[in-house]
Each structure stands twice: as C-alpha cells, then as structure tokens.
Amino acid sequence: MSLGPLLERVPQALRGSSAYHVPQPPQIRAKLDANELPYAWPIELRMALGAALAEVPLERYPDPRAKVVRDLVAAQHGISGEQLVFGNGSDELIAMLCAAFAGPILYPVPTFVYYKLASIARGIPAIEVPLDRNFELDEAAFERAITEHRPSIVFLALPNNPTGTLWRMDFALELAARHRDTVIVSDEAYVAYSDQTALPHLAEHPNLVIMRTLSKVGMAGLRVGFTISAPAICDVLEKVRPPYNLSSLDQAAAAFALREAAPWSLARAAEVVAARPKLAADLAALPSTEVFASAANLVLVRFGAGRAAKIWQGLADRGVVVRNFDHPGAPGHPAGGPLAGCLRITVGTAAENALLLAELATLTKTE
C-alpha cells in the first residue's frame, strides 16, 4: 500500500534510501555475515546469567545512569564514569552524535553504512571521501576535505568495516589536534581483533570520542555500546540520549558479562585472531580472488563483479551466509561502487571456516 499524501511528509533523502536489510536463508549452517563472535556462551555462564536476570525488578524503570555497568566499564578502562555515555549498541551512539553535533559529518568510503543512514535520518549532509583501490586512506585528501567542508563530526572506523583495513591510528589523533572544532570519532568496534586504541591519548584531546561495543565480543544480542570522551562531550550527548535507552535486562546482562564473561570472550576473540591469517590465505588460494588485509574479525574478498553475487547465492543455498556487496540493493553501497564484486566473510569457528572453504572450492570448480 502506498503512503498517499503522507509521502509529502517524508524528507526527500529518506524517500530515496533503503532500510537496512539482512537476507536470511531458510537453513543456516554457518552464519558468517554479521561480524559476530561465532562462539555461544558456555552453559555455566548462561545458567548464572539466567539467575542474575531473575533478580531484575521488571516493574521498575531501568537506572537511567546505568550506574553498575558504568562503574565496571570505568574501572576496566581506567577512566572516570563521567567520561562514559551508553547506547543501545553503538548504532544509537552514532545517531546521538549526529543529533547532538547536528552538522555535516565526514567519513571515508566504503565504511560502516550506519554513519550514512544516521545522517539521512537526521537530514544532515554526509561528505564521503573515497578510499584508494586497496581501501587505504589518502590522508592528504581526507585532511583537505575536512578543511574544505568543516564537518561537525568525522567518523573513522579503526579498523574499518567492511574492508578490515586498519589505518594509521595516530592520524585520528593528529586530526583531533588540528581540527579542534570537529568531533573526531575513533570507532573501535573491532578493538578486540586489532589491539589498537586511541584511549591512552584521550586526555590530550577534548574533541576525541572513542566508541566501543560489546557486540563483537559475544554479546551482539545485548545491544550495549558506549563512548569514552571528555565529560563536556558526554554532557551534550546526554541531552539527546533517550533516558531509558538501556533496559534493566541490558544493564544486568552487561554487568554480568563484564564481571564474569570478560576472560571467556577475550580468549575466544584471540582464537579468531589466530584463525584469521589461515582463512585469508585459504581464500586467496581460490581461483581469481583478491583478499584484503584485515585487522578485524572479517575478511573482504573480491571475486569479481557478477561472479561474487553468484557465489553468494551458491553459498546461501548451501546454508553458508556471508555478506554480499555485489548487488545494487546494498544500502549505502551503490552498484558498480568500490565494493562491486566483493563478499565480506566473518571469521567463524574452525568447523565453519572449513565448511565455507569446502563449499567455495565446489562452487568455484563448477563455474
């Protein structure tokens, strides 16, 4: 059914954009499409989590300050609780940053698509600076774009999704020093896989925001992320944060996870890091593929335009789900753009990686 006269009420930018859509084949044997940690929590941890959640008073609103989680995160990162803002995943933090510092945003492309979606939702301009053919950042061109457009916010995913590339971390700090009237966001969603962070330099940069999430280390279902910054930035973000954005269950589960599950998830993330080079090498050994170096829990592979989409479908038919960037409908990633011909593959368990490679071997043999 059409919107009828309501269509006039929808901003032009939204009319032309598409919603974030995740295709789900009926039967999934290996889910390698969303950069999640591939391991389920051990049963003992899940039982203890269940007991902790049973204590949550659901008849009450959540603690709007999320004090328990705040104190734990602050202690674990050696910062003060005043430097933290919590979001329903970092997606919500990105939207909050766009609302709070409402002005043009600037980021390299291709990158995490939600920067663009958040700017469209807020009706603010997005300035996109192309990466080079190997998805490296042209620092001089990037700096020129900032000087020319004077954005309110610069988003740098360090490492980048969907390419896995890790640009020079110090560049974010240099930008923060040179552009004091711009919020520089170091989006460290994949820090567990790159071991690189701008955190030790936070005190030197009042305009630097470090963004983290629990999603990539075994808690994507929770939807908990946080920013670390100078308290003055937190004060602005707090003005646009929905007061109860973290439910009581989110808070209790996040607190439990930070207290009890952190060693488990760090050890599992280390397994993924150890498995990444072999997966990348095995993918590179397939006929006519180009594999990009990754510092995240993903590997971007170029199979070629048209070919990648066919391979994606073949994998999906066999229950192996990876992310397809080789089709016109990918939000934020236009047909024929730099990701044409590419599939993004999350590093899975040893069994999932083996299954993926076996199916890819069959599919590429029968092309």
| Residues near ligand PLP (CB under 6 A) | 35, 89-91, 112, 157, 161, 187, 189, 213, 215, 220, 225
CB of 157 to ligand PLP, least distance (A): 4
- Three-state DSSP at 303 gives coil
Nearer to ligand PLP, 298 or 363 (CB): 298
| Residues linked to residue 301 through DSSP beta bridges, in sequence order | 291, 343
Q: Smaller CB distance to ligand PLP: residue 20 or 362?
A: 20
Between 223 and 318, name the residue whose CB sits nearer to ligand PLP: 223
Report the distance separating Cα 340 and Cα 260, nearest Å: 42
Minimum CB–partner distance for residue 331 and ligand PLP (Å) = 13
- Smallest distance from the beta carbon of 223 to ligand PLP, in angstroms? 7
241 in Cβ contact with 96 (< 8 Å): yes
* Smallest distance from ligand PLP to CB 92, Å: 7
Q: Where are the alpha helices (DSSP H) in 31-133?
A: 43-54, 67-77, 89-100, 114-122
CB of 225 to ligand PLP, least distance (A): 4
Computed on alpha carbons and rounded to an integer, the radius of gyration of the chain in Å comes to 21
Spatial CB neighbours of 255, under 8 Å, sequence gap ≥ 6: 68, 69, 72
- The residue (of 292 and 363) whose beta carbon lies closer to ligand PLP is 292
Q: Compare residues 126 and 189 and give the one whose CB is closer to ligand PLP.
A: 189
Per-residue buried b or exposed e for 325-344, using 16+ beta carbons within 10 Å of the residue's own CB = bbeeebebbeeeebbbbbbb
Whichever of 112 and 193 has its CB closer to ligand PLP, that residue is 112
Least distance in Å: CB of 160 to ligand PLP? 7
The token pair at 295 is: 């510092």
Distances 174 to 143, 204, 208, 230 between C-alpha atoms, Å: 10, 11, 10, 17
Comparing every residue's Cβ against ligand PLP, the nearest one is: 89
* Closest separation in Å from C-beta 254 to ligand PLP: 12
Q: What is the C-alpha separation between 350 and 88, in angstroms, rounded?
A: 31
The one-letter amino acid at 230: A
| Nearest CB to ligand PLP, comparing residues 62 and 159 | 159
